[in-house]
Structure 1
């Protein structure tokens, strides 16, 4: 599997990452082991998790597998922190919470460092300097190699990344993990331009539109699907609507013409978008992961990629359009634009 730099950092990652959100909950340890072996055999190196996945069980499963499946220094572990446990505080990026949860993550993972540590959201209640100083401390004490952010708006991404670049010795933000797929392209308005300008690699989560881009929901909801479970049905429901259906049909048509599966087309499209380092494959079973890994061998013909761009494009207006199209694109503004 091809290796790519993560933004403008020295960290190289495989161009497909392995997600573990369901590990320890919907994916048992045996199936998780089968997934990890498939992924490693395909040349993958980046395992993504979070302290809240399965209330920590996902990290525990990863730690148990690292004991016997692969040496620690042959894989990259990315985890996240910053989600609060109180119903009154969904985000908590205070120094105490971040460093306490990092230590707990390291214990569960059975390692003394993580390769990429990411803020799991934006916390408006904690001063920026406190949060960023905690990231610096984690790096300077050797518990973290690189830091990133997740689920931040464009201005938040730029604010945090610029803060870290403003003074020598601070740990730079090298990555942003955000939802991005043919069904969700909102980050193209502000987040992608910010990431490109500041040298952040993009790690798309749910690159298959929460499973909808596989085409499995075209004729109903399979009993073994996420949409058929109480805790994940609302997660999938977002994309079970007419606009998404038209995009799914375009993906299915492209796949039929290429002789591959729809998920391969959807993953190849997102994998090769500008700025993307590694889409995160969030398979529930080893069989699903095996199908997703086949996308590594597929390069979409330009005409198909452009057709998918067109059918899934999101409306972009002023002022985002100016930043995305570049100076002079589309001609000068009208005289009354000022």
Structure 2
């Protein structure tokens, strides 16, 4: 039987754990890094040979880690943080964090959903327009003096009325679909499960989805479960008149296959905001005029990044106050 004294002791211990140190893992938005340093006295996880000594000295004192989808917290790092209670992500992505390992250890994981939905959906539509109408290519064509020297650019295809498939009809995928409905685009989608009541057409596999659309948009979450979900079979189904747009994670697409299909004309074009090994982009893509390349800027607006920072700190503050998270990852 547990005594009152031991109950109080356990409660005091939990408060003490939550009141431990905050650790920053990886680079973040400069103003967020400054806030973590000045307002939370956060420690910064070093790289290289210094990491072992740092964790030996500070590991037990750390109760919350703040990171991003670019860096994350793996199971090995968790092993060195025995009192870690929360992993707080700046951004919607968390595929670089071992969520299963965190859950097994009782560590909460949060991200910043909703606040970046509109901006990522906007950039997806921008990539559709740019890729299909070849806006970036046409801009380069004018700047390089080719309009004068070579005449008009080749004709492109219209976006209005094109059949659009979306892999991942979550918050962002739905916002993309809403926008492209305004272009009178028939929308279909693939999720792990069909969404009851959705106005859009469900496809049971990515390959089946790709075979019935002109433009395939990837908006699925990253992680082991979606790695290379868009493979050569899907690209074959999309075909030489099809366009691929990726605003999700580079890992969702077999990048090597994609480069091959774009190089030899088995795809009409691609608009990419994400890559498999950022910030490195396959050299071949740099020379292709049918590809639009962005440096992972889907959420890169002043308004959205400020909202992401605010929600990150709200999650951190709530955990430090009562051990819960504002927007926990529930999968």
TM-score, scaled to structure 2:
0.31
Q: Which has the higher contact order (CA 8 A, sep 6+)?
A: 1
